[in-house]
Chains A and B, each alone.
Chain A
Amino acid sequence: MLKYVTRRLLYTVILLLIVSFTIFYIFDLIPVDPARLICSKQCTPALVEANRHRLGLDVSVLEQWWRFLQGLVQGRNYGEGGIKDIYCGAPSFGYSFNRHECVSTVIADVFPTTLSLTIGAFVMWLSVGVSLGVLAARKKGKFADRASNAFVLIGTSLPTFITGILVVLFIVLKFHLVNPLELGDWKNPITDPIGWLRTFFFPCATLALAYAATYTRFTRSNVLEISSEDYIRTARAKGLSEKVILRKHTLRAALAPIVTIAGLDFAGLLGGAIITEGIFGLSGLGKLSLTAVLQTYDLPIIVATTLVGSAFVVIMNLIVDIAYAYLDPRVRAE
């Protein structure tokens, strides 16, 4: 097991290095020159060159990437050639000349919002999806199954931007459950749990709906499939009650694959939920990267958010693999 984890850990580090280099390479290829963008109206080639040097873009991609990695570990000074000294401590993701802030500070500012949204939605869709899926499988063909089927249909066919707008329309504007002025206000869940809920409950529910529907479907079909396995018949032949068979034998096998997709979906959302954040006025990673890409072309922010997003996926992949090995002894053996 230890050997397995070590090997996977090594792969993860290598993968992250490749991902980060690819990101640098892609942004180097894009025909937008950040050095020209921040140049004022009286722009001269000399000024552009100076900007380029200041942004650290006057060296090869490989060198840029290497400096970035160094910055991650040691922190980095971005002030060379500029008016004042700018230092960002480790882990430094770069410096946004557009916002005059270290990127790590910017990310640390928005991350609690993204984390709240993701965890809240995750808990909702997992509990609703799995319990509804199990219920539907148990009552196959009966009313509960059909009702959950309807839920799945609605959940999967309604895009988030429609549900989000409907939620805002009814909850905020019609029933006044949330003050529109408070919409998107960050509240600390520990010191102000009610305020946190007021900000995040509806965005989380909106985000969770589509996922919950998929998970209901997936759980239902998994439980049904496992129920017809020979080893469930064996469990019955032993004299176990239906309750124990479901709780211990069926669910253990049926939920193992759900751990996999749940981990990856969770990681994907940690990279930012652009639409939901936009509708509810939340400033999370999604909004941050969207602004950086569309409005300011803030390269350090784009690189950092892309890298953080993919790092979540890669790291979660590792966690899922380890969890799966723990759940399924056959994986452990390999």
Chain B
Amino acid sequence: MTKFLEVKNLSVSFPTEDGLVKASNDVSYSVDLGKTLAIVGESGSGKSVSNLAIMGLHNRATTQISGSAFLNLDEGPIDVITAPEETVRRLRGKVMSMIFQDPMSALHPYFSVGNQIAEAWSLYNEGSKRDGMKRAAEMLDLVGIPSAADRVKDYPHQFSGGMRQRVMIAMALVNNPKLLIADEPTTALDVTVQSQILKLIQEIQKEFNMAVILITHDLGVVAEVADNVCVMYGGKIVETSAIDEIFYRSQHPYTTALLDSIPRVDKFGSHRLKAISGQPPSLIGLPKGCSFAPRCQFVSHVAGSRCTTEDPELTEKAKDHFARCFLSTEQIHTLTGRSVTA
């Protein structure tokens, strides 16, 4: 069965003076219409980079991209990695849209929000400027901005952070795209606003049957909205599965460490949060072996020094549950205390 977006062996690297930065390494994932895929990882894990490649937002002259990313459109599949730039541009904003982390800087300060939304609309629709502004007002209303008809003429600096992110969402969705890539859409916002924005994305997803890729470092966000999860580390996917599998039967020491580092309401009292010691790896000249090995507390449980000499493959540990670790399912669950039957 083909899904709407199928990313296969996508690698993105940037040549620099210090060497080749392998920001995203042999990444594969897919997402279907109406579903949400969460891509989780810390800063520099390569989670944004592969999605910017799908959108064609890297400078092709200074970026090396290999692999494929097929959009299965009604007219037939199209590989946005190898398609001509002009073809990909005409998909942007129409078939696939993206919203960004910082709504403060992602909107043009010199143009009214209505103007900016209308501009996106008029790219793919026939109509006057007035039609565009009318459509912009409808969109602002849809994303829950009060008295939208009056506010279309306002400028970005006249909106709060949460409201600006709503404007971004309105702009991204004005042409009813089939795929929405949300790159840390709530990171820059207050916690109370965060859940409103997530709820808004979910509602709109349901209404328009969109595929959503949610890039985040916040597992709390993932638990709220995702159907499937990819955990990325050092430019690679280290674990991927359905949402419940990740939370209750995680198969990779990095994922379990991440889960241990978030506060839990059911374990207060003596429970202390565990930080992951060490630093994420430099993406220039990755060490041999597993990229997480230097920070992994279970390295000694793997025979020999295999973790530091050999990079584990992404293997299917359970049905549709892949992880990049030499430890067996039983071993890791005994070590982390996470039950197989939770």
Please give the residue numbers on chain A whose beta carbons come within 8 Å of chain B beta carbons, in ascending order: 229-231, 233-241, 249, 252-253, 256, 327-330, 333
Contacts and interface: CB of A to CB of B under 8 A. Distances in A.
The 9 closest A-B pairs by CB, nearest first: A239-B93, A239-B92, A230-B105, A329-B155, A231-B108, A238-B93, A238-B120, A230-B106, A237-B98
Contacts of B100: 230, 233-234, 237
Contacts of A329: 109-110, 112, 155, 157
B157 A330 contact: yes
Interface of B: 55, 57, 89-94, 97-98, 100, 102, 105-112, 119-120, 123-124, 155, 157-158, 168, 171-172
A256 B111 CA distance: 13
Contact of A330 (B109, B112, B119): B109
19 contacts: A229-B105, A230-B100, A230-B105, A231-B105, A234-B171, A237-B57, A237-B172, A238-B92, A238-B93, A238-B120, A239-B89, A239-B94, A239-B120, A239-B123, A241-B89, A252-B108, A256-B110, A333-B155, A333-B157
Contact of A238 (B102, B119, B157): B119
Given A234-B168, A237-B97, A238-B123, 8 more contacts: A231-B108, A233-B106, A234-B100, A234-B108, A239-B124, A253-B108, A328-B109, A329-B110
Contacts of A252: 108, 110-111
Counting chain B CB atoms within 10 Å of each CB, which of A235, A238, A252, A327 scores highest? A238
Contacts of B94: 239
A234 B106 CA distance: 6
A213 B231 CA distance: 51
Given A329-B155, A329-B157, A330-B155, A235 B108 contact: yes
A333 B93 contact: no
Contacts of B92: 236-239
Contacts of A327: 110
Contacts of B102: 230
Contacts of A249: 108
A268 to B, nearest CB: 27
Contacts of A233: 57, 100, 106
Nearest to B171: A238
B101 to A, nearest CB: 9
B296 to A, nearest CB: 35
A200 to B, nearest CB: 36
B246 to A, nearest CB: 29
A333 B91 CA distance: 37
A234 B107 contact: yes
Contacts of B155: 329-330, 333
Counting chain A CB atoms within 10 Å of each CB, which of B97, B109, B112 scores highest? B109
Counting chain B CB atoms within 10 Å of each CB, which of A237, A253, A330 scores highest? A237
A32 B335 CA distance: 96
A146 to B, nearest CB: 17
A194 B314 CA distance: 78
Nearest to B174: A238
Nearest to A327: B110
A329 B112 CA distance: 9
Contact of A236 (B57, B108, B158): B57
Nearest to A237: B98
Contacts of A236: 57, 92
A260 B119 CA distance: 28
B297 to A, nearest CB: 38
A333 B155 CA distance: 10
Nearest to A231: B108
A253 B109 contact: yes
Nearest to B102: A230
Contacts of B120: 238-239
A217 B59 CA distance: 24
A324 to B, nearest CB: 11
B117 to A, nearest CB: 9
Nearest to A252: B110
Nearest to B93: A239
A177 to B, nearest CB: 44
